[in-house]
Amino acid sequence: MVKSATPPSRTASPSPPRRGLRRVRTVLIVLVAAVVVVAGGLLGLRAARSGVLPGVNVDGVGLGGQSEAGARAALRRHAEIKGAATVRAVRGSAGRTAGSTGPVTGEAADLGYSLDVDATVAAALQRGRQSDPLLALRDHLAAFSATIAVPPVEQVRDEPLEAWAKRVAERLKLPPREGRVLINGARVRGVQPRSGARVLQQPLMAAARERLLAGDGGVLRVETEPLPPRTTAADVRRAVRQARRAVSAPVTLRRNGVTARLTRAQIGDALAARISGGGKDAAITIAVEPRAVRDAIGRRTIQRFASEPDSASFVVNDRSVRVVGGQVGFSYNAAKAARQVWRVASRRGDRSAVLAGNITQPRRTRAEAEALNIRRRVSSFTTYHLCCESRVTNIHRMADIVDGVVIEPGETFSLNGYVGDRTTAKGFVGGGAILDGEYVEQIGGGVSQFTTTMYNAAYFGGYDIVDHKAHSYYISRYPEGREATLNFPTVDLKVANTSPHGILVKTSYSDTSITVTFYGKKWVEVSTTTGSRSNLQTGETQYQENDSLPRGQEVVVQEAGQGFDVVVTRTLRFPDGQIETEEEFTRYLPQPRIVARNTNE
């Protein structure tokens, strides 16, 4: 065989880069064609399906193929149905236990449930119309054979749900049974405490929210926790023990010689068991009812218990003094009596007592009177007068008012302040008095004689005479320089008790004399001297016209009296040897001679 010397010919082939570009073009062409096909198909499907995409389902409500208005109407009906769903909260397996109430119901709308129809319809219409064409195409393809679930736009607001849960907790709570003590007359028995139940609100709200969103309502069995009682079995035992001791025997109360006896049954009827305090400090306490005690004692016995306060007074026997009276007053107090019955009934021994109540202190207790140390006569003075004059009535009236006055240590006695104005209403009558140098008739006239007598009793008792005024003219029945006048309210007699002991002022009188005596305890020796008269003066004659007299006749109405100065000295000798000397200067005016006459022509 002869081989040809000419080489075989070769066909020219493209280079590798050119082949890759060709493939990319091909893929792009295919993809574009596919996109065009998909877009065309999607547009066609969208054009063919103008409402809700077929197969769309919202919360069990089929909206596929419906228009927007139809879908909205269907969802409104569904929202109304879910909003009307009723939730019932119960306690216990049967929905009711001993001591509980019936179920607590509530409609979903009232509990805060709401469905946003517009937002949910918008979400349903969006299926198959997403901006992502693949997602949109997937929904369209799924719409041929599957259900497209669109979740509803809904909510349950916290505020109304929480308010409902609080109502449920309040209604369905099972209050604990507190320990009790039952008392019937003298019989006592205890009832033990028992726990209750408290509703747990948070689990209830979570369960209710789930049911409301599900839309089926129904029964919710609430979760609870134990609610312990405030009292314990130990509280019951202690209270029973106290009550049984209280009714174990009668109670006797006495006061002012009167006795009341409460029987065991009466005590028991008056007892009341109460729970006091809170938390760990709670306890069962036994108390006595005041009204029951009052009824058991009786109105008449209570009246016999009462007494008026009796102020301590002084009884004079010759020269000595003793204290009498000084008892307190008493009135029934229901609250105090009830507390006392409980205290006495709680004793193991003696079950009697002096009845407690309202104590009214006397004006002066016996102890206070004894402390004044008024034991015997300290000083006394008597002045004399004519019998049967009207002024004597006033002297005696003053003596009756002042009799029994007590002047305590450090106290100052005012005669005007104690007696007051001398009026006919107080028993005073008209009597002789000095006015502008002349003797006249005046209501209360003559009281200066009592004043002078009391002045001298105080003087010889060694007491301080802090205020007095001598008569303007000397009156012979009084000791010169040791006398006092009285006029309300300007001229007074004031005696200060400067001793460490009390003073009892006693008065006595006869038809012709008045006596004032100071009782207490001798504390100083008193002596006195009266100096000689000096600065002697004779009264001048004064004329008074009197048309009732015959013309030219004169009548002497008042004789002239002598005026003079006098000094009286009082010497006080105290037990410790101290000596005090006091001088009292008095100037008496000359009493004018008064002549009545008629000089008219």
Whether 387 and 365 share a structural domain: no
Residue 40: pLDDT over 50: no
Element (H, E) at 413: strand 412-414
Q: Which of 343, 369, 395 is a domain's end point?
A: 369
Structural domain contains residue 224: no
Residue 181 forms part of a structural domain: no
- The reply to whether 281 and 416 lie within a common domain is no
Task: Say which amino acid occupies 212.
Answer: L
CA angle 462, 467, 469 (to 5 degrees): 110
**Residues 517-536 pLDDT 10s:** 999 999 999 999 999 999 99
Query: Among 126-140, 326-340, 487-501, 582-596, which stretch is predicted with the lowest mean pLDDT?
Result: 126-140
Let me know whether 363 and 400 are in one domain: no
Same domain, 364 and 388: no
Structure tokens at 588: 């008496």
Confidence of residue 16 (pLDDT cuts 50, 70, 90): low
364 in any annotated domain: yes
Tell me, yes or no, whether 420 and 461 share the same domain.
yes
Quick one: 343 and 376 in the same domain?
no
pLDDT of 4 over the 50 cut: no
Shared-domain flag, residues 365 and 376:
no
With a CB cutoff of 8 Å and minimum separation 6, the contacts of 414 are 467, 492, 493, 494
Answer with the residue of higher pLDDT: 549 or 240: 240
Mean pLDDT for the stretch of residues 243-272: 97
Inside any domain, residue 23 = no
- Region 327-349: what's the mean pLDDT? 96
DSSP per-residue letters across 472-511: SS--TTS-TTS----BTTTB--EEE--SSS-EEEEEEE-S
Residue 316 has pLDDT above 90, yes or no: yes
* C-alpha R_g of the chain: 59
What pTM was computed for the model? 0.60
Mean pLDDT of 480-491: 95
For residues 161 and 266, state if they share a domain. no
Residue 26 has pLDDT above 70, yes or no: no
Same domain, 116 and 241: no
Per-residue pLDDT tens for 426-483? Answer: 999 986 555 554 455 678 788 999 999 999 999 999 999 999 999 999 999 999 999 9
Complete DSSP assignment for 233-293: HHHHHHHHHHHHHHTSS-EEEEETTEEEEE-HHHHHHHEEEEEES-GGG-EEEEEE-HHHH
Distance CA 559, CA 507 (A): 34
Structural domain including 137 reads 46-172
Q: Is residue 16 part of a domain?
A: no
32 in a domain, yes or no? no
In a domain, 27, yes or no: no
> Of 133, 149, 172, which one is at a domain's C-terminal end?
172
Q: Which residues of 585-601 are buried (b: 16+ CB within 10 A; e: fewer)?
A: ebebbbbbbbebbbeee
- Identify the band that residue 146 occupies on the pLDDT scale cut at 50, 70 and 90: confident
Q: What percent of the chain has pLDDT over 70?
A: 88
Residues 110 and 238 in one domain: no
Note whether 298 and 383 are same-domain residues. no
> What average pLDDT does range 59-73 have in this prediction?
93
Q: What is the mean pLDDT of residues 74-89?
A: 94
Res 14 pLDDT > 60? no
pLDDT higher for 28 or 245?
A: 245
Long-range contacts of 511-515 (CB under 8 A, 24+ apart): 511/387, 511/388, 511/392, 512/384, 512/385, 512/386, 512/387, 513/382, 513/383, 513/384, 513/385, 514/382, 514/383, 514/385, 514/395, 514/396, 514/399, 514/449, 514/450, 514/453, 515/380, 515/381, 515/382, 515/453
- The pLDDT of residue 120 is 95
pLDDT digits (tens, 9 = 90+) for 102-132: 789 999 999 999 999 999 999 999 998 988 9
Q: H or E segment at 341?
A: helix 334-345
CB 378 within 8 A of CB 521: yes
Two structure tokens written together for 137: 């195409």
pLDDT of residue 11: 44
Inside any domain, residue 177: no
Lowest mean pLDDT among 10-14, 391-395, 496-500: 10-14
Q: Last residue of a domain, which of 369, 397, 428?
A: 369
8-state DSSP, 176: P
What's the pLDDT at 559? 86
Query: What letter would DSSP give residue 592?
Result: P
User: What's the mean pLDDT when you consider all of the chain?
Assistant: 89
Q: What's the total number of domains in the chain?
A: 3
Task: Answer yes or no: are the C-beta atoms of 391 and 445 closer than 8 Å.
Answer: yes
Per-residue pLDDT at 439: 52
- CATH number of the structural domain spanning residue 263: 3.10.20
Average pLDDT over residues 338-363: 96
Q: How many CB atoms lie within 10 A of CB 562?
A: 15
Q: Are residues 295 and 340 in the same domain?
A: yes
